Amino acid sequence: MASRNPAFSRGFGNAGPGQQQAGWGNTSQYGAPQYGAPTQYGAPAPQQDAYTAPSPYGTTADTRYMTMDDVVTKTGLAFLVTVVSAAATWAMPGQAAWGLALPAVLVAFVLGLVIAFKQIANPAATLAYGALYGVALGTISEAFNDVYPGIVMQALIGTFGVFAGMLVVYKTGAIRVTPKLTRWVMAAGIGVLVLMVANFVAAWIGGGDGLGLRSGGPLAIGFSLLVIGVAAFFLLLDFDMADEAIRRGAPAKFAWYIAFGLLVTVIWLYIEILRLLSYLQDD
């Protein structure tokens, strides 16, 4: 299955060559063979129970399959490590944390790329990513809170509110994750990234505020709202990825990869909400 999250860029199809995918209905939106449908040679394909079909992950008989409890537990632990790391960094005396922030961001960025492209489902990798980004978040949060007292708590409440709201939207089916929606969200994410890079390049070459996307004015506020909206929809893709992995018999350890994807999205969401609140307070 093609990935629906930047963190899941390689998708389920890399679980192993020659693995047969289970069908989950009469039609398959993921390109899996439809059991019972005519083959290219005209003969009907053998019927197969979706719940007894081989897992696309190459699991063995003694493999424990992933459950929603695994996702919740691993994700909660990843967030706990991130928060503790951020709090410890914030508590450091003076400006000591600033010397750690940039190296932590760079190492976390490289580690995140490795986890994403190699699809590493490992507790050490996910928790290390959370701890490293926690150092950066603690430093950034302290800097914002020094200028705008109380803004960090507001950003945390806003992030939790968006997360909870999108979870309710997903669970109630108010917005269904379809291939079309996935393409739109991915396109929007790429568009946002392109605009951010263009704004940075324009500011670096011409000086000033670049394209004005981070100037704090009405355009910057509108852009931040757009980014928050895109990040919120990425949460839907994350939730759907977890459900899809459970339905398709992913091993329990794959929950660490799901946790990594959710961590990436929530960190992105928190930083953008923090930025938006700073614009609003400046006004």
Tokens of 184: 């739109």
Residue found under tokens 């509108």:
222
Percent of the chain, pLDDT > 90?
A: 65
Q: Write down the pLDDT at residue 6.
A: 44
The CA-atom distances, in angstroms, between 215 and each of 89, 150, 223 are 28, 22, 10
- Whether 39 has a pLDDT exceeding 50, the answer reads no
Q: Write down the pLDDT at residue 113.
A: 94
Least confident of 5-19, 105-119, 127-141: 5-19
The CA-atom distances, in angstroms, between 161 and each of 48, 122, 166, 196, 261 are 43, 29, 9, 25, 19
- Whether 46 has a pLDDT exceeding 90, the answer reads no
Q: Compute φ and ψ for 38, nearest 5 degrees.
A: -60, 140
| Mean pLDDT calculated for residue range 233-258 | 94
The C-alpha angle 44, 47, 48, rounded to 5 degrees, equals 145
Is residue 73 very low, low, confident or very high in pLDDT (cuts 50, 70, 90)?
very high
The CA-atom distances, in angstroms, between 202 and each of 50, 209, 226 are 53, 8, 20
Percent of the chain, pLDDT > 70?
A: 78
Displacement of CA 163 from its chain's centroid (Å): 12
Radius of gyration of the chain (CA): 21
206-235 tens-digit pLDDT: 777 778 888 888 999 999 999 999 999 999
- Distance, CA of 252 to CA of 216 (rounded, Å): 44
